[in-house]
């Protein structure tokens, strides 16, 4: 299906793919949409068929024009603040941003304005798009790389579910202290809070389930470190950092978890984000270039990824 935005409306023309389906079936079964927003669209008469209010139980016909009110102006939810950001992908529904080091993903206290979410709000405001800023996942303050944002609540709820169902693949590059001899492995250890430190996490039998897969891409005997690729089945706070430290290979620069070099941040980068677009069904694959100056990672890191 092909879509285009017309003011507050998302418009499409019914093709063979949707011929005979009802609006209710499309929202619930095809898009697996959120019940709350589907109910809201029905109550607010937010769907038109050929310019008239939709009859939700009536089968659609080839050539019918569907309009769905997805793009109403909203408060950003954060203070728009100019910070230069690198947009990796954007359409009417979502955007992927390459987060630099030193930025929180979103405000952690009222009035905070120096986060990636504030920068996204400013960017959208500059384009005349007044949307609530919705982050689908987050990165630690000093972790860099791809972060996914939704531009409206309907797609935000769909993306949240996709993340839970592991339909959004996040691939990380990490430099760890030590030479990992095992070429690949899985760390399946629950993670909980550290009672002795306000922000630290630890492997704990009473923690939440956490699974990290890793693969060694290259070892550097002279500097006693390894370049690895990681993927997550779960998204716990500090997951990669905690898991790698727990097996004796903390991230280079990760002072919180026991690594002692003078690097100013942990060497962790969200290098790739891949998913199927919930509306267009197209494969979206974003590669986030390194932003560090001077460089932290080897220049051939992306070429070594599996």
- The pLDDT score that the predictor gives to residue 259 is 85
By percentage, how much of the chain surpasses pLDDT 90? 93
Mean pLDDT value of segment 211-216: 97
Q: Based on the residue annotation, tell me whether 92 is a catalytic residue of this protein.
A: no
- The pLDDT score that the predictor gives to residue 306 is 84
DSSP secondary structure, 213-251, as one string: EEEEEEEETTTTEEEEEEEESS--TTHHHHHHHHTT-PB
- The whole-angstrom separation of Cα 96 and Cα 90 is 6
Q: Does residue 167 have a pLDDT over 80?
A: yes
Residue 105: how many other CB atoms lie within 10 Å: 20
Catalytic residue among 140, 160, 194, 292: 140
- pTM of the shown model: 0.94
Q: Which two tokens stand for residue 160?
A: 């949240």
- The b-or-e profile of 134-173 (16+ CB within 10 A means b, else e) is bbbbbbbbbbbbbbbbbbbbbbbbbbbebbeeeebebbbb
Nearest partner of 270 among 109, 144, 176, judged by Cα: 144
Say if CB 177 and CB 159 are below 8 A apart. Answer: no
- The pLDDT score that the predictor gives to residue 299 is 93
Mean pLDDT value of segment 88-105: 97
Mean pLDDT value of segment 9-37: 95
Q: Does residue 1 have a pLDDT over 80?
A: no
- The pLDDT score that the predictor gives to residue 92 is 95
Q: Give the model confidence (pLDDT) of 224-241 as tens digits.
A: 999 999 999 998 999 999
Helix (H, G, I), strand (E, B) or coil at 125: helix
Average pLDDT, the chain: 95
- The pLDDT score that the predictor gives to residue 212 is 97
Q: Which residues pair with 13 in a beta bridge?
A: 65
- The pLDDT score that the predictor gives to residue 198 is 87
- The pLDDT score that the predictor gives to residue 141 is 95
Helix (H, G, I), strand (E, B) or coil at 302: helix
Say if CB 19 and CB 62 are below 8 A apart. Answer: yes
- The whole-angstrom separation of Cα 90 and Cα 83 is 18
Q: Does residue 184 have a pLDDT over 90?
A: yes
- The whole-angstrom separation of Cα 89 and Cα 283 is 12
Give the single-character DSSP code of 30.
I
**Domains of the chain, start order:** 3-69 (3.10.290.10), 73-165 (3.30.2350.10), 171-269 (3.30.2350.10)
Q: Give the model confidence (pLDDT) of 100-143 as tens digits.
A: 999 999 999 999 999 999 999 999 999 999 999 999 999 999 99
Q: Does residue 261 have a pLDDT over 90?
A: no
């Amino acid at each position: 299906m092909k879509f285009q935005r017309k003011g507050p409306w998302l418009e499409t023309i019914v093709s063979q793919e949707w011929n005979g389906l009802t609006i209710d079936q499309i929202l619930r079964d095809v898009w697996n949409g959120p019940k709350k927003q589907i109910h809201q669209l029905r109550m607010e008469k937010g769907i038109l068929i050929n310019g008239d209010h939709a009859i939700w139980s009536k089968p659609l016909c080839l050539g019918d024009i569907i309009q769905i009110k997805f793009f109403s102006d909203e408060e950003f939810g954060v203070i728009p603040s100019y910070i230069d950001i690198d947009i990796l992908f954007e359409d009417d529904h979502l955007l992927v941003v390459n987060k630099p080091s030193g930025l929180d993903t979103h405000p952690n206290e009222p009035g905070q304005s120096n986060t990636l979410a504030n920068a996204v709000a400013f960017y959208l405001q500059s384009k005349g798009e007044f949307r609530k800023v919705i982050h689908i996942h987050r990165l630690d303050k000093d972790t860099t790389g791809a972060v996914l944002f939704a531009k409206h609540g309907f797609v935000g709820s769909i993306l949240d579910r996709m993340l839970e169902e592991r339909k959004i693949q996040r691939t990380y590059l990490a430099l760890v202290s030590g030479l990992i001899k095992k070429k690949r492995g899985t760390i399946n250890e629950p993670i909980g809070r550290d009672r002795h430190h306000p922000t630290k996490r630890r492997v704990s039998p009473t923690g939440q389930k956490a699974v990290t897969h890793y693969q060694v891409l290259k070892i550097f005997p002279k500097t006693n470190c390894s370049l690895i690729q990681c993927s997550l089945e779960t998204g716990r706070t500090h997951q990669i950092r905690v898991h790698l430290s727990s097996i004796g290979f903390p991230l280079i620069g990760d002072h919180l978890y026991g690594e002692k070099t003078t690097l100013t941040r942990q060497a962790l980068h969200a290098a790739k984000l891949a998913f199927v677009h919930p509306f267009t069904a197209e494969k979206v694959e974003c590669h986030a270039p390194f932003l560090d100056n001077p460089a932290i990672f080897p220049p051939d890191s992306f070429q070594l990824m599996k």
